Structure formats: structure tokens, C-alpha cells
Amino acid sequence: MDLQAVIDDIALSLAERRGEGKVADYIPELAKVDPNQFGIALTTVDGQVFTAGDATTPFSIQSVSKVFMLTLALGKAGEGIWKRVGREPSGSAFNSIVQLEQEHGIPRNPFINAGAIVVCDMVLAGHKPKEAIGEVLRFVRYLADDETISIDRAVAKSETQTGFRNHALANFMRSFGNLHHEVDHVLGVYFHQCAIAMTCRQLSRAGLFLAAHGHDPISGYSVVSPKRARRINALMLTCGHYDGSGDFAFHVGLPGKSGVGGGILAIAPGKASIAVWSPGLNKVGNSALGSVALEMLAARTGWSVFGT
């Protein structure tokens, strides 16, 4: 299969649709991003890299970072994290507060905002906020094998100044005893992890361990156990697109995690790690063109986990 030809054709097919969707204007810095951009990068388990479009343009990965933070938290706390956060799809918006009251401050899963804030609280244990931020940045650089990856300070500041709903979620969980550190400290880590800026090429490389049973096939290093990689992929499939997760599984059939910056990391187990980016979002907060591109890729490669 000529994967370069496949993604070139996808990028060409979507060229006239650039700009579809709506940028996440509730974060002022993201509102400034040109919506007429689209990039795709694919890194195979044998180390080949294929790119098309704006694949080398950095963007704010936002909630895609939750995959890496979950991986860190599992390394620190192991299976004990599931006492504080669930593993079920939410069926609600990513920043919803409704279920928290009904379920006594235990978020449905680690990929909605509330769950990711609890995961941050776990990673923060024993650290100052700056140390925890440094830890996740070093981890992402290690996974991507790229020391140039950085945090977009303007985006982090923008989120800090406007993250009122996240403050509400965090305070609500602390009232139930499910947040152990100061709210401002936890959210400081959360806003900075979301503001990590990466290109599609870097992001696809960072996710490769999830396509290769938990180890990095290029460096040869083990990142997580095969069992843990499988479980992270399972959560990405069922919960990675908020209340659009079922629709994404239906149309694409790959584990994936989206972010309101317009990025999506998708995993074809045993095959490749794929990153797409287009800033315009659909009605449930996922990249409009990115979702279409991944549906096209899954159809043309037969990589759906549910079969060809």
C-alpha cells in the first residue's frame, strides 16, 4: 500500500473544504488561529513517516495531552487511579458538571475535563506545579524524540484567564474530597499541559508506543506494558471524543483522542500512529475535517479495529 499516495489524495480531496467548522473561540488565543489549515502525519510501527498538508505547523494539542498525562498517572499510581476516576463514556459535553453531582465527584472517565483534572492532581503528588509541568513536557519530548516541543505560553495564559468552568469542576470535586491539592495548583498544571504545542509529525511520533504494544519500535524502549497500552487504546476508543465518541467509533473505528485545538491522535494497533489537525470544530468539539480525514484513511487502509 502506498501510504504517501493515500494521505496525499485525502489532503487533496479535502482542499476545498478547508475552513469548515468553528474554531474554539471561548479560548481567546485559539480564536486567532487561521481555520483554513489541514495537516496529517502518519508514523508506522516500522519507522516510516508520511505527511501531507500543514503537518509541520505547530498547534495547541489541548485535550490530546490527556493521553500522555493518563500514561504518566498510571505509571505513578497504577490501577489505583480507577478509585478516583471512572472508565465509562460520559454521553455529556467535555466540560459538563451535571454528572459530577449525581456521581459524588467521581468523573466518568479521564478524558473529559473533570477526569483529566483529577489525573493532574495525581501527577502533581509530591511535586510543585512547575515540576509537574516539566515532567509532562519531558515525557512528551521523550515520546516524540524531539527536544524542541514547547508550551505555548500565550495559550496557557489565555486558558488561565478564562477557565471559569474548569475552576468550577475542580472546586466541585474538591468538595467531595476527590482533589487533594490546591485548585489553582492543579489547574496550573492542567492549563499548561493543554497548551503544549506540537506538529502533526511530532504528535504521530509521540503516539507510536500505543500502536506498538507499549514499546517504541524506533528506539526500542518500553514505555508501558502491552496490557496497559491496550487499555489506554480502549479508553481512547470509547471516551476519546466526548459525546461524539460513539459516532467516531462508528465512522472511523480507531482509538482516538481529540482536542479543541483541532488535533486528533488516532491509533491503528500494530500498524501506525496518525495525527490530523484542522482548527474548525464540529458541534461536539472535535475537528470537523480531521474526523473526515480519518474516516477516509480507515476506509482506504482497512485499519478499523472492527475489520475491513
pLDDT tens per residue, range 203-246: 999 999 999 999 999 999 999 999 999 999 999 999 999 889 99
Q: pLDDT value at position 195? A: 98
Read out DSSP for the chain? --HHHHHHHHHHHTGGGTT-SB--TTSHHHHTS-SS--EEEEEETTS-EEEEESTTS-EE-GGGHHHHHHHHHHHHHGGGGGGTS--S---S-TT--HHHHHTTT--S-TTSHHHHHHHHHHHHTTS-HHHHHHHHHHHHHHHHT-TT-EE-HHHHHHHHHH-HHHHHHHHHHHHTT---S-HHHHHHHHHHHHTEEE-HHHHHHHTHHHHTTTB-TTT--B-S-HHHHHHHHHHHHHHTTGGGHHHHHHHT-S-EEE-TTSEEEEEETTTEEEEEE-S-B-TTSSBHHHHHHHHHHHHHHT--TT--
Q: Does position 145 have pLDDT exceeding 80, yes or no? A: yes
Q: Does position 90 have pLDDT exceeding 90, yes or no? A: no
Q: pLDDT value at position 187? A: 98
* Mean pLDDT, residues 80-99: 86
Q: pLDDT value at position 96? A: 76
Residue 239, Cβ density class (10 Å: 0-12 exposed, 13-18 middle, ≥19 buried):
buried
* Mean pLDDT, residues 50-72: 98
Q: Does position 95 have pLDDT exceeding 80, yes or no? A: no
**What is the arrangement of strands in the sheet containing 49-53, beginning at the earlier edge strand?**
49-53, 39-44, 272-277, 263-268, 256-258
Q: pLDDT value at position 256? A: 98
Q: Does position 135 have pLDDT exceeding 80, yes or no? A: yes
Percent of the chain with pLDDT over 70: 99
* Mean pLDDT, residues 9-28: 95
**What is the arrangement of strands in the sheet containing 196-198, beginning at the earlier edge strand?**
59-60, 196-198, 150-151
Q: pLDDT value at position 209? A: 98
pTM of the complete model beyond 0.85: yes
Q: pLDDT value at position 102? A: 84
pLDDT digits (tens, 9 = 90+) for 234-249: 999 999 998 899 999 9
Grid coordinates belonging to 161: 484567564
Residues labelled as active-site residues: 63, 66, 190, 242, 260
Q: pLDDT value at position 123? A: 97
* Mean pLDDT, residues 26-48: 96
Q: Does position 92 have pLDDT exceeding 80, yes or no? A: no
Q: Does position 17 have pLDDT exceeding 80, yes or no? A: yes
Give the closest residue to 90 by CA, choosing from 259, 240, 256: 240
